[in-house]
Amino acid sequence: MKIEFNPRNETEVLAVQKKVAEAVCKIQLNKAKKITTAALFERGGLSLNRAGINTLADAAKYTRLDFSKLKGIGPKVTNQISDELWKLNLDFAVPKRIAKKVTK
């Protein structure tokens, strides 16, 4: 199941950026720092570059959170974030692992 993200205007892009950033920030990213969301979500099969959020700094910008003390991130947190994004029902490519979990 792959849904393309095709924003119609800048307001729509900003709305998606804010939702994604909130999803990222919901998770306790205690050990993450300067990691790109592209790398972060690659394992979950989500592409956030289309939404204009390329780093955790970008996510922080939208939610005013400080990611400067974060250091590294593991697969467990990656999966948690992927799950949060799925709950938001955003128009991104959805990982099969999550799609199966939801449809069962």
Q: Which of 65, 100, 68, 98 is nearest to 81 (CA)?
A: 98
The pLDDT-based confidence of 99 (bands split at 50, 70, 90) is: very low
pLDDT at 34 over 50: no
pTM of the full predicted structure? Answer: 0.30
What is residue 100's predicted lDDT score, i.e. its pLDDT? 45
Per-residue pLDDT, 96: 45
Residue pLDDT, tens place only, 68-98: 444 444 555 555 555 655 565 544 444 444 4
Q: Which of 37, 34, 28 is nearest to 76 (CA)?
A: 28
Specify the DSSP element, H or E, that contains 98: helix 96-103
Would you state the pLDDT for residue 102? 44
pLDDT digits (tens, 9 = 90+) for 42-71: 444 444 444 455 555 555 554 444 444 444
pLDDT on residue 6: 52
> Distance between CA atoms of 6 and 36, rounded to whole angstroms?
22
pLDDT at site 33: 43
